[in-house]
A and B are shown apart, each in its own frame.
Chain A
Amino acid sequence: MNGSSQHTAPGGEWPSDWLRATLGMLALRALESGPSYGYAIIADLEKHGLGTITGGTLYPLLSRHEAAGMLVTQWRAGEAGPGRKYFTLTDHGRSELERTRADWARFTDISIRFLGAERPGKEIPE
């Protein structure tokens, strides 16, 4: 699996803490356009510069999403290769994605402004 995005992490991998915090919503986003399976989700995330996610990280996450009713699964027999387990977003998963996407946008906006070089000088409360 080779990433093709120019927006990759320095050294190829993002800090694991960042991925741990965001992978749940990123996996939901990878399913927004339609059902997909494990390897395709991993490849999609890698292609978009999010690093290489292992099966040991992705599948437990998808399993928790399924238990929470955000995903449903269906096995489909492969024509030439292995059978595949397809994950599909439910309405609950879709609304959860919308919510976390909006929250994340607000959070990153605030963080970027805070980190920005043009930020006013340090304000020390009296």
Chain B
Amino acid sequence: MTVIPSDQKWFDDLVMELRLRQAQGAAIGDAVASARELLADTGQSAQEAFGLPRDYAAALELPIASDRDLVRWTVWMSLLGLLAFLLFTQTATAWAQGEPFLLSPPQLALLSAPAVLVACLPLYLSAAIRKRWPLVLAVLLCAVTGALSAVVAPATRAEAWLALDPAPLMIGSAGAMVLFSVMSTIRTRRRGDIDDIVDPLAPGPARRTVSARVIPVLTDWLFPILALFTLGQILLLVR
């Protein structure tokens, strides 16, 4: 069945709203297939037949997954992982050069911006998931302030406000990244295939493709993998 583009956006929003409500993947698949069935019969647009995706998702009152707040957990882990990653890249450079990790007030202010963004996450999390651009903006701000903090890093110990041993910070941030990844992996494995959106008309039990099994694990370990890659580059540049 063909889905007109505006309806595709409606269905994307419906799936997101049902995810936010922690509906199970099978129930989401069922709701989507039911809606598509009726649209095929009536020729109506999704908006016309079902109203706003947010209202329709709320009205359906689908059974929720036992593991609540998956989306919020995922975003929290991602942003905390990003913070640990930024700290790791800052300290790894100093460590590779055998120098102390120097901090100046403007650099600290720039480094604290991502921390503030993460701390304020509860205030804009739902909006960030629904609209997406606040989340993209938050990640961009973290990346830009992280990069700028490297630019304004003091060149000499005399310019620095604080001179810290980079090794404990680097090990600590690496440990934090690994810890977040382990926690995410445990959660991913415990959930199994409960989040997979299953087409109720698909013949036989749903089989997870290799990519469907591997991608969540890769996502859970994204920051440690990036950190290893970054460390390799830093070591190559220093030598």
Contacts and interface: CB of A to CB of B under 8 A. Distances in A.
Interface stretch (A12-20, A57-65, A88-96, A112-120): A57-65
A92 to B, nearest CB: 18
B61 A63 contact: yes
Most buried by A among B38, B39, B44: B38
B33 A55 contact: no
Contact of A81 (B30, B40, B42, B62): B40
Given A82-B1, A85-B30, A38 B41 contact: yes
A70 B227 CA distance: 55
Contact of B201 (A64, A67, A75): A75
Contacts of B56: 56, 60
Interface string A64-90: 100100000001010001111100000
B50 A54 contact: yes
Given A56-B59, A60-B60, A63-B62, A82 B37 contact: yes
B35 interface: yes
Given A75-B200, A82-B1, A1 B60 contact: no
A39 interface: yes
Contacts of B36: 82
Given A63-B60, A85-B30, A85-B200, A37 B37 contact: yes
B154 to A, nearest CB: 60
B6 interface: no
B38 A55 contact: yes
B49 A39 contact: no
Contacts of B50: 54-56, 59
Interface in A7-66: 37-39, 42, 54-56, 59-60, 63-64
Contacts of B30: 85
Interface in B27-76: 30-31, 33-42, 44, 48-51, 55-56, 59-63
A88 B30 CA distance: 16
Interface of B: 1, 30-31, 33-42, 44, 48-51, 55-56, 59-63, 200-201
Given A38-B38, A55-B38, A75-B201, A83 B33 contact: yes
Given A55-B49, A83-B200, A85-B30, 9 more contacts: A38-B34, A38-B38, A38-B41, A59-B35, A60-B56, A75-B201, A82-B40, A85-B34, A85-B37
Contacts of B44: 55
A67 B38 contact: no
B60 A38 contact: no
Interface of A: 1, 37-39, 42, 54-56, 59-60, 63-64, 67, 75, 77, 81-85
Nearest to A59: B34
A77 B201 contact: yes
Nearest to B200: A75
B33 A64 contact: no
Contacts of A37: 37
A1 B44 CA distance: 11
B61 A38 contact: no
A59 B1 contact: no
B37 A83 contact: yes
A124 B30 CA distance: 56
A64 B40 CA distance: 23
B169 to A, nearest CB: 52
A52 to B, nearest CB: 10
B49 A54 contact: yes
